[in-house]
Amino acid sequence: MSRRFEGRVAIITAAGSGIGAATAKRLAGDGARVVVADLSGTRAQATAAAIAAGGGEVAWLKMDAAEPPAVEATVELALQRWGRLDVLVNNAGYGEPALLCDTSIESWNRTVAVTLTSVFLGLKYGLPPMRRQGGGVVVNTASVSGTAGDIGMPAYNAAKAGVINLTRAAALECAAENIRVNCVCPGGIDTRVSQVLAGERADEVRRALAAVHPLGRMGSADEIAAAIAFLASGEASFITGAALVADGGLTAGTGLPPFVSPAVPR
């Protein structure tokens, strides 16, 4: 594996499982010193232990990405431990399936706080040290659900759309300071969170999600981690303000039926 993040310090939020854990392990494997932050201290510690077992430099903490003091403390941990912050991955997200009029005010507020306000807080506290050191990279986890609507996820749709446009605004503001800001927009990813959301229908929902992706399957957390690592790396040095879609072709079509049957390889 390459060491393209050698000497760099990265923070990944919601890194106790799924995309966050895969990203933390990917960056650590590429040489980064990593701060693993998660609402579950148990899961954060488990991710950190896996990184340490592989020889990586890692710190972890329990944190709520929607709480300003917690986000500020996460940045401070990176600065106290290693003196800099080069890569910030704002990965926290939350959603509760419900039709719009059935969505409670509490659910709306929590979804927006964890999914969108957390990104604002990451930028608010993460950008100053990047500015002081002369540059850095931010990658936010958005979603294809931020590019189009879903039935039964109105708060999540609104919050993820906000992540995409906040990414663009931050990219414009920071471009002259050698700070790049991008986001990745996953399609259906097979993670613990997607299984929890589906509940008892997990297997049924997994099959349905696989069927609507042109590649014929859901994505994996490791595949999204690879996209995030690319955007955070020097290989993406001329990319900022972008929303990189990684969705197995889900959003490539109009949704209209085929005009001609596609060829089937023999």
- pLDDT (mean) for 134-152: 97
- Residue 198 inside a domain? The answer is no
Give a three-class secondary structure readout of 25-71: HHHHHCCCEEEEEECCHHHHHHHHHHHHHCCCCEEEEECCCCCHHHH
Q: Is the pLDDT of residue 257 over 70?
A: yes
Express as a percent the part of the chain with pLDDT over 90.
88
**Segment 10-34, tens digit of pLDDT:** 999 999 999 999 999 999 999 999 9
Number of domains in the chain: 1
- Residue 206 inside a domain? The answer is no
**Segment 33-85, tens digit of pLDDT:** 999 999 999 999 999 999 999 999 999 999 999 999 999 999 999 999 999 99
Q: Is the pLDDT of residue 1 over 60?
A: no
pLDDT of residue 261: 82
Which CATH number covers residue 34? 3.40.50.720
Q: What is the DSSP string of 198-261?
A: HGGGHHHHHHHHHHHSTTSS-B-HHHHHHHHHHHHSGGGTT--S-EEEESTTTTSS-SPPPSSP
Active site residue 94: no
- Residue 258 inside a domain? The answer is no
pTM: 0.94
Who has greater pLDDT, 58 or 197? 58
- Residue 205 inside a domain? The answer is no
Distance between CA 53 and CA 46 in Å, rounded? 10
- Which tokens belong to 197? 């959301």
- Residue 85 inside a domain? The answer is yes
pLDDT of residue 204: 84
Which amino acid, one-letter code, is at 145? Answer: S
Rg, C-alpha atoms of the chain: 18
- Residue 84 inside a domain? The answer is yes
**Segment 217-227, tens digit of pLDDT:** 999 999 999 99
Q: Quick check: 138 and 88 in contact, CB under 8 A?
A: yes
- Residue 197 inside a domain? The answer is no
Full residue range of the structural domain in which residue 188 is found: 9-192+220-245
Give me the catalytic one of 27, 156, 185, 246. 156
Give a three-class secondary structure readout of 92-156: CCCCCCCCHHHCCHHHHHHHHHHHHHHHHHHHHHHHHHHHHHCCEEEEEECCHHHCCCCCCCHHH
pLDDT of residue 200: 67
**Segment 93-111, tens digit of pLDDT:** 999 999 999 999 999 999 9
- Residue 207 inside a domain? The answer is no
